[in-house]
Amino acid sequence: MSLEGVHRYIDEHRSEALDILRDLVARPSISAQDKGVKECAAHLAALLGRFGIAAEVVPTPTQPIVYGEIIRDPGGYTLLCYGHYDVQPPEPLDLWQTPPFEPTIRDGRLFGRGAGDNKGQLLAHVLAARAWLEAADGPPINLKFVFEGEEESGSPSLGAFVREHRARLAADLVYISDGGLHPSGAPVISLGNRGILGITLVAQGADRDNHSGNKGGVAPNPVLILAHLLATIVDPSGRVLIDGFYDDVRPIGPTEQALLATLDYDPVAFGATMGLPTLPMDGPTYWKRIMLEPYFNVNGFVSGYTGPGSKTIIPARAECRIDIRLVADQTTRDILHKLRRHVATVDPRVQVLERGFGTMEASRTAPDHPAVRVVAQAIRAVRGTAPYINPASGGSLPNVVWPRDLGADHIGVPYANADENNHGPNENLSLERFYDGIHVSAQVFQALADAAAAGILPRQRARGGASR
């Protein structure tokens, strides 16, 4: 009965929920520019406090984290909801139809920087908890909230924060709502992400450009040095040739393999979104390559002269920027070590420089994790349609902190419309998707409580329970 009352409360408090979202979006919190972030954190913590959620602003060496909790039973099942209250810079301002921090409703959407990424989505959890507090005697599980203030700046302090507060943050599952639904509006579950390692390779020949006739055959050419090196790193099919590169790649399980075939795919339509006439592969191959396999990519290659006319030089220097997308259980540290070893063996003249910013580890929750089915059923109960289950997303996110630093598995359930335009001008959140999100969170709390009572959910590894 109480769950029905909670859903009714959410329906009856739509306009208030919208006012709360507008107020939050109106507060700039741009981590890249350190603009308004701490003020927004204080506002968010106060908001949680007003709803009866014990909350505080926890400082870190960079931007603060807003932490809140509702503990019903100290030994009971605990869900940690992660989100971020910081936003991307709004520039260029002239491309916004209405100012980014003056939230405006048009066509059933709230327009404003941070509406979808991620203020509306984190608020959905908070408002669901509030509905449980107001319409029932509190949520049926323990809830913890970690709202970060610098996700858009690479989450520099999140890992240390989680390690430092490990006991306090202890949770059985981490629930993350960020990003968009399927373009059709169908719900989605995302179980992980690829990692990323940024590298610059530098070859230095002479200390200056040299005449290619007078010195050709004598001065070393750094472009050719890098070209030969790259050819020893990747073969024409994209296979990485570095010794041991694939050693730790987590094998693709049968459930993951089966899921790949359930994902939406159209070679022509997907090709069109990339600027290609079609894609020469089937759906499972497409998704496997993006989600479950590593990829060695060259971002850019700079050297020599490419201006008008000709300049017959042997360039002094060549530089190649690389990003390597990794999958569980590869680590950036190990792959960097193996790459350095490879380069030192093949051509020790080449320098391997690490680009620290943006480095992230891969992380992946197994699709057979019992919580996946529980959450999927809860989503279906609210939305009337089963979610697509993505074994991982191709991009990189800081999710690894949850299994690595907290010992808890993570599950991603995006709430925003696919065309939320996050990071771009005219960011928006569909109001229906916002209200759906509140209902989904409320339903998920109950579904996890029921499944935990039935003993089918793993408890956190740190407490000695079975998990994976």
The contact set with Zn ion (CB under 5 A) reads 117
Given the complex with Zn ion, which of 117 and 150 has the nearer CB atom?
Answer: 117
* Residues in CB range of 227: below 8 A, 6 or more apart: none
Nearest to 113 by CA among 52, 176, 40, 202: 40
Q: How far apart are CA 86 and CA 29, in angstroms?
A: 5
Least Å distance, CB 150 to Zn ion, is: 11
Given the complex with Zn ion, which of 65 and 199 has the nearer CB atom?
Answer: 65
**Six-digit token string for 100:** 């980014």
Torsion (CA) 451, 455, 461, 465 in degrees, nearest 10: 170
Q: Which phi and psi (to 5°) does residue 165 adopt?
A: -110, 30
Least Å distance, CB 26 to Zn ion, is: 18
Q: Where are the alpha helices (DSSP H) in 95-221?
A: 120-135, 158-164, 166-169
267 preceded by cis ω (within 30°)? no
Least Å distance, CB 46 to Zn ion, is: 24
Q: Using alpha carbons, list the distances in angstroms from residue 242 to 71, 334, 338, 344.
A: 49, 12, 7, 12
Least Å distance, CB 393 to Zn ion, is: 13
Q: How far apart are CA 93 and CA 275, in angstroms?
A: 27
Least Å distance, CB 398 to Zn ion, is: 12
118 preceded by cis ω (within 30°)? yes
State the first-to-last Cα distance of the chain, in angstroms, to the nearest integer.
34
Given the complex with Zn ion, which of 51 and 82 has the nearer CB atom?
Answer: 82
* Residues in CB range of 144: below 8 A, 6 or more apart: 67, 68, 69, 78, 79, 80, 81, 169, 171
Per DSSP, what are the bridge partners of residue 257? none
Q: Give me the long-range contacts of 15-19 (CB less than 8 A, separation at least 24).
A: 17/123, 17/127, 17/434, 17/435, 17/438, 18/105, 18/110, 18/431, 18/434
Given the complex with Zn ion, which of 148 and 256 has the nearer CB atom?
Answer: 148
Least Å distance, CB 56 to Zn ion, is: 24
**Six-digit token string for 66:** 């807003």
Contact by Cβ (8 Å): 200, 337: no
Given the complex with Zn ion, which of 31 and 363 has the nearer CB atom?
Answer: 31
Least Å distance, CB 152 to Zn ion, is: 5
Q: Where are the alpha helices (DSSP H) in 82-136?
A: 120-135
Least Å distance, CB 319 to Zn ion, is: 29
Q: Where are the beta strands (DSSP E) in 85-153?
A: 104-106, 109-111, 142-148
Least Å distance, CB 158 to Zn ion, is: 14
Least Å distance, CB 419 to Zn ion, is: 15
Given the complex with Zn ion, which of 78 and 359 has the nearer CB atom?
Answer: 359
Given the complex with Zn ion, which of 117 and 361 has the nearer CB atom?
Answer: 117
Given the complex with Zn ion, which of 69 and 117 has the nearer CB atom?
Answer: 117
Least Å distance, CB 77 to Zn ion, is: 29
Least Å distance, CB 320 to Zn ion, is: 28
Q: Using alpha carbons, list the distances in angstroms from residue 272 to 215, 282, 289, 390, 418.
A: 47, 15, 18, 21, 17
Given the complex with Zn ion, which of 117 and 256 has the nearer CB atom?
Answer: 117
Q: Which amino acid is at 34?
A: D
Q: Which residue is nearest to Zn ion (CB)?
A: 117
Q: List % helix, strand, coil for the chain (3-state, nearest 5).
A: 40, 20, 40
Given the complex with Zn ion, which of 32 and 381 has the nearer CB atom?
Answer: 32
Q: How far apart are CA 443 and CA 377, in angstroms?
A: 9
Given the complex with Zn ion, which of 37 and 449 has the nearer CB atom?
Answer: 37
Given the complex with Zn ion, which of 116 and 140 has the nearer CB atom?
Answer: 116
